[in-house]
Amino acid sequence: MKLTDPSPLHSQLTGIVAADHHEIPIAHPGSISNTNWVLPGWSFGATAGNVVVADRRYYTPIYVANGMTYVRIGVHVRIAGAGGTVARLGLYAATITTNRRIIPGALVLDAGTVSVATTGGKEITIDETLPSGFYFLALSSNGVPNLTRPATSGPGSMPIATLLATVDVIQGSILAVDGIAGEGALPDPATAPTFLIAYANAHGMLRY
């Protein structure tokens, strides 16, 4: 389904197709107990674990089909990091560069940090209303916890797909940048991503 939203961002997405998703709760096995957790625009039937690289910021593309107010942002820790390990979570608006690359732009929310030094669901209370559109969920850590992510054996669909090789977000790939302070405050605008990594590095969730 091609985008029909008349917003300026959508009007620039020539040749890009977004998944036709609504806010469908994600039932992560062993995850945070409330069922209203979502990774907006994503659909997948299985999860696995993935070790976070310390001092790397992960930008996961998300697509909010309908305006929604989110009240939590969080992660699920499968294997805890060392004592003092935290995850920094937040949201960035998506922007399009002059050469039609989709990257994180203005800071929407720096939710702060949550300890990932123990296993289980970890959440931060927020009150963030996101209009329909593309965003990036940002995550970084000062350690190497193992977090829940989509399983590579059974992906469903991601929020952005394109045939244009000049677009950074290809079939839901994650943008990233190394050399940042994993626990540090999120900058505004976003630190420019320097490489792409697989969708199995999609960490983090939102709850409505």
Residue that the structure tokens 């090789």 belong to? 165
Domain, as residue range, for 46: 8-207
Does a structural domain hold residue 3? no
Does a structural domain hold residue 174? yes
Does a structural domain hold residue 2? no
Does a structural domain hold residue 137? yes
Does a structural domain hold residue 1? no
Does a structural domain hold residue 77? yes
CA gap 199, 208 in Å, rounded:
23
Which string of DSSP letters, residue by residue, matches 96-145? Answer: E-TT--EEEEEEEEEEEEEE-SSSEEEEEEEEEEE-SEEEEEEEEESS--
Report the predicted TM-score, pTM, of the whole model to 2 decimal places: 0.81
Domain total in the chain: 1
pLDDT tens-digit readout, 180-205: 999 999 999 999 998 888 888 888 99
> What does the pLDDT read at residue 165?
45
pLDDT tens-digit readout, 140-183: 999 999 998 877 665 566 765 343 444 444 444 789 999 999 99
> What does the pLDDT read at residue 35?
65
Which stretch, 70-84, 95-109, 189-203, has highest mean pLDDT?
70-84
Cα–Cα distance list, 35 to 7, 121, 125, 167, 181 (Å): 31, 12, 16, 33, 32
Does a structural domain hold residue 99? yes
Does a structural domain hold residue 182? yes
- What is the average pLDDT value for the chain, to the nearest integer? 79
Backbone dihedral region of 183: left (phi > 0), alpha (psi from -120 to 50 degrees) or beta?
alpha
> What does the pLDDT read at residue 152?
64
pLDDT tens-digit readout, 23-54: 444 444 334 455 688 889 887 767 888 999 99
